[in-house]
Amino acid sequence: MVETFEIINLEGRHLAGALALSEEAHWNQVEADWKMMMAAGKAIGIEESDGRLVASALALPCGKQFGWVSMVLVTEAWRKKGLATQLLSACIQNLENAGMIPVLDATPAGENVYRPMGFLPHFGFQRWEHEDVGGISIEGVTGSKFMSAETDAIAQLDVEIFGGERPKVLKNLLGRSATLSCMDDMKDGFLLGRDGRVATQIGPIFSNKIASAINMLDFALLQLTGRVFIDACDHQTDFITRLEQYGFKRQRPFLRMAKGRVENLGDPSRMFAMAGPELG
Listed residues 96, 123, 150: the one ending a domain: 123
Band of residue 148 on the pLDDT scale cut at 50, 70, 90: very low
**Same domain? 155 vs 266:** yes
**Same domain? 12 vs 85:** yes
In the chain, the amino acid numbered 131 is E
The answer to whether residue 270 scores a pLDDT higher than 60 is yes
Rounded to a whole number, what is the distance in angstroms from the first to the last CA of the chain?
35
The answer to whether residue 250 scores a pLDDT higher than 90 is yes
**Same domain? 147 vs 40:** no
Total structural domains within the chain: 2
**Same domain? 113 vs 182:** no
**Same domain? 176 vs 73:** no
**Which pLDDT belongs to residue 146?**
45
Residue pLDDT, tens place only, 41-63: 999 999 998 999 999 999 999 99
Residue pLDDT, tens place only, 197-214: 999 999 999 999 999 999
Identify the CATH number of the domain in which residue 17 sits: 3.40.630.30
Is residue 204 reached through a cis peptide bond, with omega within 30 degrees of 0 on the bond before it? yes
**Same domain? 262 vs 145:** yes
CA-only gyration radius of the chain, Å = 18
**Same domain? 140 vs 262:** yes
**Same domain? 56 vs 95:** yes
**Same domain? 20 vs 92:** yes
Residue pLDDT, tens place only, 64-109: 999 999 999 999 999 999 999 999 999 999 999 999 999 999 999 9
Residues 183 and 222: their CA atoms lie apart, in Å, by: 15
